[in-house]
Amino acid sequence: MTQTDFLPWRAGRLLAVLLAVLAPPAAAFEASSSRPLPAQGTVEALFSPWDDVEGALLRALRAARESIHVQAFSFTSRPLAAALIEARARGVRVAVLADREQTQFMDNSRIPQLAAAGVDVALETRYAAAHNKILLIDAEGAAPVVVTGSYNFTWSAQAKNAENVLFLRGHRPLMRRYYDNWQRHRAEAQPYGEATLLKD
């Protein structure tokens, strides 16, 4: 090998070593990857106003055994608020994240009622709109349920709007993705009762 041939070979070897050192471990890549997850469990799709989405949500909440984690943009549904309060009363851990602006300025928000009933409520302030509409039921259990879609937790979402909802049951890797994201949002949110939260 001549000196001229040796230089590109040496540069290539140096690049390979640097990439090996700087690249994250495979496990870290997989944990943070957004690659498609393999299919598991069951999927149920509902569409309002034709389907009784609120009834399906109530049944799912009443079936919770360990925990319910909520992310809400608008929350005005009395039956859903009552179901969360009932779940807490029977020993289910209930935690709610809600959009601050919608909570403070939307008529008939049920978020203050939930906080007054002892539900762990925090408000999201970082985003222009905390627009997630998610229920995570028994997130760390053997039969978790992810509920997501366009459906706000409101009477209008059931009776007046065209909405979609997915119930994704028994898919533990998917629940882990959603639950990790919920926890990330919770770490950024402010507890409902903080005085600074109530000032605009």
120 burial class (0-12, 13-18, 19+ CB within 10 angstroms)?
A: middle
Q: Tell me the pLDDT tens digit for each residue of 82-111.
A: 999 999 999 999 999 999 998 988 889 999
DSSP letters, 117-136, are TT-EEEEE-SSS-----EEE
Q: Tell me the pLDDT tens digit for each residue of 140-159.
A: 999 999 999 999 999 999 99
Q: The domain 40-198: what is its CATH number?
A: 3.30.870.10
- Does the pTM surpass 0.85? The reply is no
Q: Tell me the pLDDT tens digit for each residue of 20-46.
A: 333 333 333 344 456 777 777 899 999
Annotated catalytic, 69? no
Question: Strand, coil or helix: what is 43?
Answer: strand
Pull the structure tokens for residue 96.
């709610």
Q: What is the mean pLDDT of the chain?
A: 84
> Which one of the listed residues 131, 160, 185, 200 is annotated catalytic?
131
Domain ranges for the chain, please list them. Answer: 40-198
49 in Cβ contact with 160 (< 8 Å):
yes
Annotated catalytic, 185? no
Annotated catalytic, 138? yes
> Which one of the listed residues 51, 52, 120, 133 is annotated catalytic?
133
